[in-house]
Every structure is written in structure tokens, then in C-alpha cells.
Amino acid sequence: MTTAAVPMRERENYLNQEYGIKSWLLTTDHKRIALLYLLSITFFFFIGGFFALLIRLELLTPAGDLVQADTYNKLFTMHGQVMVFFFLIPAVPAVLGNFLIPIMIGAKDLAFPRVNLLSWYIFILGSALMLYTILNGGVDTGWTFYTPLSTEFLTTNVVAAAMAIFVVGFSSILTGLNFIVTIHRLRAPGMTWSRLPLFVWANYATSIIFVLGTPVLAISLALVGLERMFHLGIFDPRLGGDPLLFQHLFWFYSHPAVYVMILPGMGVVSEIVACFSHKRLFGYRFMALALIAIAVLGFLVWAHHMFVAGISLYAALIFSFFSYMVAIPSAIKVFNWTATLYKGSISYTTPMLYAFGFIGLFTMGGMTGLFVAALGVDVHVTDTYFIIAHFHYIMVGGMVMAYLGGMHFWWPKISGRMYPEGWGKLAALLIFIGFNLTFFPQFILGYMGMPRRYWQYSPEFQVLNVLSTAGASILAVGYLLPMVYFLWSMRYGKIADDNPWGAAGLEWMTTSPPTTPNFDEIPTVTWEAYNYDQLTEVPVERQ
Amino acid sequence: MSEHIASKKTYIVVWASLMCLTAATAGASYLELGHFNIVLALLIATCKATLVALIFMGVKYISQKMTWVVIVAGLFWLFILISLSMTDYISRSWR
Amino acid sequence: MSDSSPTLAAHQPGLQHHFATMEQQTDASVMGMWVFLVTEIMFFGGMFVGYMIYRYMYYGPWLEGSQHMDFWWGTINTAVLLCSSLTMALGVRASQLGQRRMLVTFLLITILFGLGFLGIKSIEYHGHWVDGQFPGANFRFSGPNPAQVELFFSFYWAMTGFHALHVLIGIGLVTYVVYRSWKGAYGPDYHNPVENVGLYWHFVDIVWIYLYPLLYLISHKHLSG
């Protein structure tokens, strides 16, 4: 490619078209909004990580020596709330999705660019409320806000935290709405549904959850707020109110939200696996259907969080059955990724290492999910570290891996620079090792009966807890590294080609970084997705 | 653009039917029908809501099939929320 | 925007740069509004499901609670909202036909009906407040099952409160559209914002169409007391 020889600053792109703080804060360009989101969620990732660090340090010893019970309650609550609502849920959709969806479908922008900017400002408003909560002494409801604990007994900033999450929910509703309309109405000529990249399908499925689930979370948190402020007794047992109703409403959103925290990751991994196997993705149609199936089935399983909370046994049977059903589309995905690898020409680049990590860890997270979907086993492991390990394998082992993989994969497109490959591989390896060392011992701890959410524990659990804390420190180094070399590469990194990986997809057919309108001319698509059999050139970066 | 513009008369007829249905539902609440009071009330409410959606909101005239899909999806998800929650409450006393 | 073709832009002032045609833009905007209304269905749906469950569990107290609703104000308010929907629909029609004065007039009447609804609602709220029917420390109820009746009133306040908030937001949106129409922003080619605000207004009406029988008409024993 000849373009690579031209210094970046001479080519016009979305980064250098305008300068100054105003050109960023008032932008309606989806790519710039994606970067605004990137900055915001990275900030929250490190705040949430800081809480996690304090939790792991406290659990280094069986005694409560670093913090006391009340502080510990606040730490795990705010770790959960920050990580779930301010990092994981917006991570892939609001950053990578915002940046890539219009380009992948051959559009100039999302359908409602101003709504997109508005969603970021709403996110910032929610962030401000969350920061106020944190700085004002925190909140200790657990990330789930269970009543009547949250409505009756706590004196911490419950209302502020609930408002923060209420507000930030509207930011994801608007993002989801924007994605749905964009994917329906703004596809380039020839870009049929069966030619959409799976990343787009994944974000479409995610948007369905945003749009249909988030409002229910909003109303349940609003009712908690009203109960605290005005003593409306919607969930108050003294009036005959049912605290389980809150759990029903809360999990109606929050279980599908778990799929918000994995579906976009599946989209990312599909792109990476196809690219670095240099093969058309195996079973494209089933992959797309499986994404939608997971999103829909995800709405039928919520009460499996409540098996021991006193729900009816017969209802529990139904929810357990549907929970097992989710395994089918999930397994389809894992098998098809594996089948794509088979006889592919695989290159072990950094994004691919993350994708491998994702597939393995997601499989473990998913399989242990089947343990806890079983009514009998669930009784044994509910509220133990088994649950903690299970959902961290999905959320961290799955989603964070996919997010980082995606950031590396598309970094040349986003920044116009290559990240240092050697450091990238090192970080990926550190994260994989650190993650397993942190969370695998927790499976065993949970199975042995160590309960979650306590600041002290019996001395016999200490060895495994020390291992876990050691893993967490490796993990921390692994997370700091990309942060450092991404920043470094923005100035010193090698200038990226338009298509450094030899990947298929419209985003690789525009310049790196793209111009503000994405394409000089709206492309007409005449090929299927992942047409790697028609792409012969494998560039040098792939090695 | 070729959009359908309903006549003034249509709107006024729909409005008049809505008022009549309101009177009907108010009147029906004076009858003693036991459990059928709520059935009747919800039936009338659904008729009213359908009229508003079809004519006032123009769903009847919209050419996009997608709008129907969106509406049906919304109602179906509401049905999921209600029915699956109710499985718990109805069967809690079966032991 | 440098990328939009100048000839198109000159003819269609409302067309944004990232859409190819006006039709595509309108389609997208209408679909966006309907998706938004679906989120509203789910938002109110959360309260409706709570209502259903408790009504199933505590039918007696809920019957008792509904006797304390003001039947006539509720019925009149239903009529007021239905009238506002009519004027809103006629307003949208005027915008389709490009009749600016009619559009502004109908929307102003809609706003008046909306304010009337809120006025009547506040009379009712005031009555309930004075009678000690607001949940919490000041709640007074002399009949049987006072706790569950308080639960009913919690739902009454939450559901009608959120509905009234939506009416208030609706009035704000209509006011904005009135201002824009007065400035001549909408015509037969571009009146999508009027339509979308209309959709929102009608949706809020539909919510009330369900709230009215569920809260005011649980079974009627006004005359017998």
C-alpha cells in the first residue's frame, strides 16, 4: 500500500479534521463519541479495579485487618455497580459498536447522531451521580439493591446510587434505539441482513435487550427511590408488599444484562477468529440466529437468581428449564468458532490470543452456569464464591478479554497507528494467567463453602485466597500494560495501513483512521461477509 | 412522499366512539359481574387503546411492516414479564 | 456538510447529511419513535405487573382502596385526555396539509386539555393528601386491612404520578413544537417532529385508558357506599 508512506497528519481524517475541546464536546460524529465513551469507561474501569484491589487485599488474611465490615460492604457494592453499569455494559457497544457499526454497514453515521451525543451526556450525568455517591461515603446495598435492605435499613447513599444507575440506563436505551434503527434503515446498497458482519448482529441482539429490558430496571430502581424518599410501600413487607417482586423486576433486566455483557464480546471474537484463520466463519447463519436466540431466551430465565429466595418450586422448574435452553445457542457459537479454526491458516497475533482466551474462559463460565441452573446444585453454591467465580469467568474472562481483543484488533483503524505486538502478546498472556490464578481458586473456595460478601473467613480458606490475590496483582499489571502502550503508540507507533490484518469487512476498505463521513462514496456491497477465500493478500503485520 | 391523510370525519367518529366506550366502561362498573367486571373493563380499555393506536397514531396507514414488528415485540415482552412472574405467584401455594 | 450533495440539500432543508433521501430519514425517525414507545411500554409494564400481582393477592383491600377514588373526576379526566388526543390528531393532520395556523391552534388546544388534566389530577391529589391517603407516617385508614390498602395507594400514587410526569413532559414537547411551527419550520414535506410528538401524546393517553379502569373502576359500589 502506498498510502502508508504518507505521514498521518497530512491525510485528513476524523481526528485531525477539527481541533479544540469544543469540536469534541459538541461533536455528532459517531467515531468521536466512541472515543468520548472510551475515555469515560476507562476511567471507571480503573475506579472499579481499585475497589477490586482493596477487596483482594482485605481477603489476603482471614482476619478483618485492612477494612472493617461496613467498609468492605461498600467496596464490593461499588465495585459491582461501577464495573457492571459504568464499564461492562457500555464497553463494547458504546465504544467499539459506536465506532464500527456505521462503518461496517456502509453508512455515514448512526441514524440519530445528536441522540448519540445526548446518550454520552446522560452517561456523564449518571457518572457524576455515581462519583458523588462514592465520594459522599459510598453505598452498601450490594449491586442488586435488594429490598427491604435498600429501602428500610441502610443509611448510606442508596437514592443517589439508584439515581445514577437509573440515569445511566437511559444512556444505554438511547444507544440501543440508535443501533436498531441504524441497522434497519441505513445499510448501504447490497448490504443485506445475511451479509452483515456478526459484530453488527451481536450489537443488534444487545440493543434488543437494552430497549426491552432497561426500562424495567429503571422503574424498579425508581420505585426503590420512591419507597425511600416518600415511603410509598411498593415492596414493604409490613404492608403485605413482596420483596421478591423487586427481585423479579430487577432480574428481568439484570439477567438479560448479563447477556449484554457477553453478546457484543461474541461479535468481536467472531470477527477476530475469521480474520486470523483467514477463513469464512463456519455456519454464519446459525451464528447470527444463535445471537438473537440468546438475547430472546435470556429474557425467560431471570428467576434462576432467586431459587433459594422463596419462589414457587414449580416456577423454579420452568426457569431452570429455560436456563438450560440457553446452553444450546451458546454451544453452537463455541463449536462454530472451533470449526472455523479447523484447517484455517491461523496467525497468533494479540487479538487472536484474546479470542482464544475468550473461547476457553467463556466455555468454563458457561458450563459452570449449567451447574448453578440445576435446582439442587444451586442450593449448595448460592451466595458462595462459586457464583463469584462463575460470573467473573463470563464477565471478565469473556467480556473484558473480548473488549481488549477488539481494542487491539481495531486500534489501527481507530488511531491510525500499530500497537507494539510484542508487548501486546505479553499483556494478553499476563491477563490470561492472572485471570485464571485469581478466579479458579474461587471455584474451589465456593464449592468448599466460603460465602461471598464477608470481610473475614475461616483460616482453612487462606491458601486459596492468597493465590487469588496473587493472581489479581498479575491481572492488574496485565491491564495497565495496554493502557500504557496504547498511549505510547498514539505518538510513536508504526503508521497503520488501511488494512493491516488483511481482514474482510467494510471498515477495512476505508482509510485508517477513517475520514469524518467514513467513505468518499457510499459503497455498494456485492459480496458475502467474511469472503476470505477471495482475499489472497496476507500483509506483513500478520507474520 | 405519499403518506395517508385521514379525513377529519374519521377522527371525529373515532373520538365519539372513544367517548361512548368511556361511558360504557364507567356504566359497566355499576353492574355486579364478579370476576367479569375486570374482564369487561380490560376488554373495553383494549378496544379504546386499539382505536387510538390504529387511527390516531396512524398504525393502520403506516406502510412499514417494521412498525408492526416493533409493537408486537413490545407487547410480547410485556406478556413475558407478566406471565412468567405470575407463574411464581400463582403456584407458590401449591405444595 | 461537505459530503451532502448540494442540489438535494437546496431542495430539502430538513434533510440531514447522513441520509440519502427524505423518505429514508422519515422512516428512520418514525421507527425510532416506535422503538422508544416500546421502552415506555416496558417502563409502565413494570408497575402494571406489580399491580396485577398484588391485586391477585389482596383483592379485598384493593376493592376497598378503589372506593376512595373520585369516580367523577377520574371519568372526566379520561374524557379530557381523549379530547386532547383528538385535537392532537387534527393538529398532525393540519401539519400534513401544511395549514400552519390550524396546526398551531390545535396544538394550543391540546396543551390546554393537558393542563386541564393536570389541574383535575392535582385537585384529586389534594383531596387524597388531606384525607390522609398518602402512604407513610400520615396514612390514615379506619377500615379492615389498612396495610394492604396503603399498598393500593402506593400503587395509585406511583402509577398516576409517573403518568402525570409523562403528561407534563408531553406538554413541554408540544410547546416546543408549537414554537417551531409558529416559526414555519414544518410543512407538507417535513413535519416529522409533529408526528412523533403526536405519537408520544397518544401513547400517554393509552396508558391512562388502562389506568382508569384499573384504579377507579375495580367494581363499583359508590351508590351502596
Domains of chain C: 39-216 (1.20.120.80)
Which are the contacts of A162, defined by CB distance < 8 A and separation ≥ 6?
A: A145, A150, A221, A222, A224, A225
CB contact under 8 A, C28 and A181: yes
Under 8 Å CB-to-CB from C77, ≥6 apart: which residues? Answer: C117, C120, C121, C208, C212
β-pair partners for B70: none
Residues C28, A232: C-beta atoms closer than 8 Å:
no
CB C20 to CB A239 under 8 A?
A: no
Distance CA C157, CA A18 (A): 50
Q: Within an 8 Å CB–CB cutoff, is residue A172 touching chain C?
A: no
User: Nearest by CB to B81, which of C34, C45, C88?
Assistant: C45
Cα nearest neighbour of C33 on chain B: B67
pLDDT at C164: 98
| Cell reading at A161 | 446510587
Could you report the per-residue pLDDT of B17-30, keeping only the tens digit for each?
Answer: 999 999 999 998 88
Query: In this complex, which of A184, A299, A312 lies closest to B88 when CB atoms are compared?
Result: A312
Interchain proximity B82–C52, CB inside 8 Å: yes
Task: Please give the pLDDT value at position A536.
Answer: 66
**Among the listed residues A419, A422, A436, the one whose alpha carbon sits nearest the alpha carbon of residue A475:** A436
Q: How far is A467 from chain C (nearest CA, A)?
A: 43
Asked if the C-beta of B77 comes within 8 angstroms of chain A's C-beta atoms, the answer is yes
The answer to whether the Cβ–Cβ distance between A248 and B74 falls below 8 Å is: no
Q: In this complex, which of B81, B84, B89 lies closest to A216 when CB atoms are compared? A: B81
Q: What pLDDT does A537 receive?
A: 59
> Rounded to whole angstroms, how far apart are CA atoms A344 and A360?
18
Quote the CA–CA distance of A537 and A500 in Å, as a whole number.
11
pLDDT at B4 (0 to 100): 80
Q: Give the per-residue pLDDT at A542.
A: 56
Condensed to tens digits (0 to 9), the pLDDT of residues B23-65 reads: 999 998 888 887 788 899 999 999 999 999 999 999 998 877 8
Q: DSSP code of C216? A: I
Give residues 190 to 209 of A whose Cβ lies within 8 Å of B: 208
Show Cβ contacts of residue A420 under 8 Å, excluding neighbours closer than 6 positions. Answer: A485, A488, A489, A493
Q: Which of C35, C49, C125, C155 to mutate to test the interface with A (most CBs of A within 10 A)?
A: C35
> What tens digit of pLDDT does each residue of C194-222 get?
999 999 999 999 999 999 999 998 866 54
State how far residue A36 is from chain C, nearest Cα, in angstroms. 21
Nearest CB to B91; choose among A208, A300, A312: A312
* Chain C residue whose CA is closest to A220: C46
Report the SS3 class of residue A451. strand
pLDDT at A541: 53
Cα distances (Å, whole numbers) of residue A259 to A162, A210, A251, A440: 21, 10, 12, 22
Interface touch B45/C46, C-beta < 8 Å: no
- Say if the Cβ atoms of C45 and A109 lie within 8 Å: no
Nearest to A382 by CA among A463, A299, A303: A303
Count interface pairs B-C at CB distance under 8 A: 134
Q: Which domains does chain A have, with CATH numbers?
A: 30-542 (1.20.210.10)
Question: Is B50 in the C-facing interface, judged by CB distances under 8 Å?
Answer: no
Size of interface A-C (CB pairs under 8 A): 129
The amino acid at A33:
I
In the predicted structure, residue B66 carries a pLDDT above the cut 90? no
Read off the pLDDT of residues A390-438 as tens digits, 9 standing for 90 and up: 999 999 999 999 999 999 999 999 999 999 999 999 999 999 999 999 9
Residue of C nearest to B35 (CA): C219
Domain locations along chain B: 1-62, 64-95
**Residue from the list A214, A218, A239 with its beta carbon closest to the beta carbon of C150:** A239
pLDDT score recorded for residue C35: 96
Q: What is the pLDDT along chain A (543 residues), one digit of tens a residue?
A: 344 444 545 578 999 888 999 999 999 999 999 999 999 999 999 999 999 999 999 999 999 899 999 999 999 999 999 999 999 999 999 999 999 999 999 999 999 999 999 999 999 999 999 999 999 999 999 999 999 999 988 888 999 999 999 999 999 999 999 999 999 999 999 999 999 999 999 999 999 999 999 999 999 999 999 999 998 889 999 999 999 999 999 999 999 999 999 999 999 999 999 999 999 999 999 999 999 999 999 999 999 999 999 999 999 999 999 999 999 999 999 999 999 999 999 999 999 999 999 999 999 999 999 999 999 999 999 999 999 999 999 999 999 999 999 999 999 999 999 999 999 999 999 999 999 999 999 999 999 999 999 999 999 999 999 999 999 999 999 999 999 999 999 999 999 999 999 999 999 999 989 999 999 889 999 999 999 888 765 555 554
Predicted local distance difference test score (pLDDT) of residue A478: 96
Q: Are B38 and C63 in contact (CB under 8 A)?
A: no
Q: A184 in contact with B at a CB cutoff of 8 Å?
A: yes
Instruction: Enumerate the residues of chain C whose CB falls inside 8 A of the CB of residue B1.
Output: 22-23, 26, 189
User: ipTM, 2 decimals?
Assistant: 0.94
Q: What per-residue confidence (pLDDT) applies to A17? A: 86
Alpha-carbon distance A182 to nearest alpha carbon in chain B (angstroms)? 13
The alpha carbon of residue B88 is apart from the nearest alpha carbon of chain A, in Å, by 5
Confidence bin at B1 (pLDDT 50/70/90): very low
- Segments of chain C with pLDDT less than 70: 1-13, 219-225
- Chain C touched by A175 (CB under 8 Å): no
Whether B30 and C223 lie within 8 Å, measured CB to CB: yes
Do residue B53 and residue C206 have CB atoms under 8 angstroms apart?
yes
Report chain B's mean pLDDT, rounded to a whole number: 91
Cβ–Cβ below 8 Å for A315 and B94: no
**The predicted structure's pLDDT at residue C142:** 87
